[in-house]
Amino acid sequence: MSSRRARIGRAVGALLGAAALAAAVSACAPEPDTLRPAPTDAASGTPTPTMTPVAIADFPFGPSTSTTPLPSDCKSILSDSILTTLQGIPLNAPGMGGGIRPDSSRVCVWADPGASRTSLVTVVGYSPEREARDALYLLGVDDGYLCYEPDEGLRCEKSGTDDLGLPVGRTVYWRDGVAIDTQYSNLAPQGYTAAIVSKIWG
């Protein structure tokens, strides 16, 4: 009889131990309403897509000797006609890579986050003469850019199409220690770089 009581006692003890373990595990798990939801678009309630910065080719921006002040913002360097062309296209949308770099260069990104094939990116900043001239020379010799000397500066440019046949290209202009580096994809307003040069140097 005593052995039967002992077996019953061990069985009850095992059940109590299992219940206690289950309670401990459930206490460590977060409640369903405390789990952090994925980011959503407040208007539609759908997940917000992750923004990817627009790719920007390298150019030697950095301290240089110059008498030219950098622009205060991205819109002030463009003419009214260029701004009209870009109307409706977001400027420096969050996550797209626009803003001011640590070296004080201004990065202007005209792009809709939902249109990955369409963008216009301009970097305006100080660029030391020797490094800038060397970089422009290599663009002309190694990469097939057309280089010439308009408006007291140096300009190299190249255009083409991507795998979908959309226009892509890049124009780099350097003058008085300042470089204007513009890269575009399916968005190239006529006279864009010339308008910036006119605004900065008059």
Residue 181 is predicted with a pLDDT of 98
pLDDT of residue 138: 98
Does an H or E element contain 15, and which?
helix 2-28
CA distance 133 to 33: 60
Residue 49's pLDDT band (cuts 50, 70, 90):
low
> Cβ distance 191 to 78 under 8 Å?
no
Q: Say if residue 123 is in the same domain as residue 187.
A: yes
pLDDT attached to residue 120: 98
Phi/psi for 107 (5° steps) reads: -110, 115
pLDDT in the model for residue 53: 86
Encode pLDDT of 119-168 as tens digits: 999 999 999 999 999 999 999 999 999 999 999 999 999 999 999 999 99
Flag whether pLDDT at 1 surpasses 60: no
pLDDT in tens, 57-69: 999 999 999 999 9
Q: What is the pTM of this model?
A: 0.75
Q: Residue 117 pLDDT > 80, yes or no?
A: yes
CATH no. for residue 184?
3.40.1000.10
Give residue for tokens 């595990």.
25
In a domain, 108, yes or no: yes
Contact 179/127 with Cβ under 8 angstroms? yes
Within a domain: 112: yes
Total domains in the chain come to 2
User: What digits encode the pLDDT tens for the residues 2-31?
Assistant: 444 444 344 444 433 444 434 433 333 333
Which run of H or of E encompasses 184? strand 178-185
Same structural domain, 100 and 164: yes
What is the rounded distance in angstroms from the CA atom of residue 24 to the CA atom of residue 202? 74
Task: Provide the pLDDT for residue 50.
Answer: 57
Instruction: Write the pLDDT tens digit of every residue in 58-106.
Output: 999 999 999 999 999 999 999 999 999 999 999 999 999 999 999 999 9
Same domain for 103 and 184, yes or no, is: yes
Which token pair is 1? 């009889």
Is residue 85 located within the same domain as residue 184?
A: yes
Judged against a pLDDT cut of 80, whether residue 109 lies above it is answered with yes
Asked if 175 and 148 touch (Cβ cutoff 8 Å), the reply is no
Q: Please choose, from the candidates 124, 192, 186, 125, the residue with its C-alpha nearest in 3D space to the C-alpha of residue 157.
A: 192
* Same domain (yes/no): 192, 100: yes
pLDDT at 54: 87
In this predicted model, what pLDDT tens digit does every residue of 181-201 receive, in sequence order?
999 999 999 999 999 999 999
Is the residue at 152 inside a domain? Answer: yes
Q: Which residue range(s) make up the domain with 118?
A: 75-201
Joined tokens for residue 23 = 């309670």
Indicate if 8 and 88 belong to the same structural domain.
no
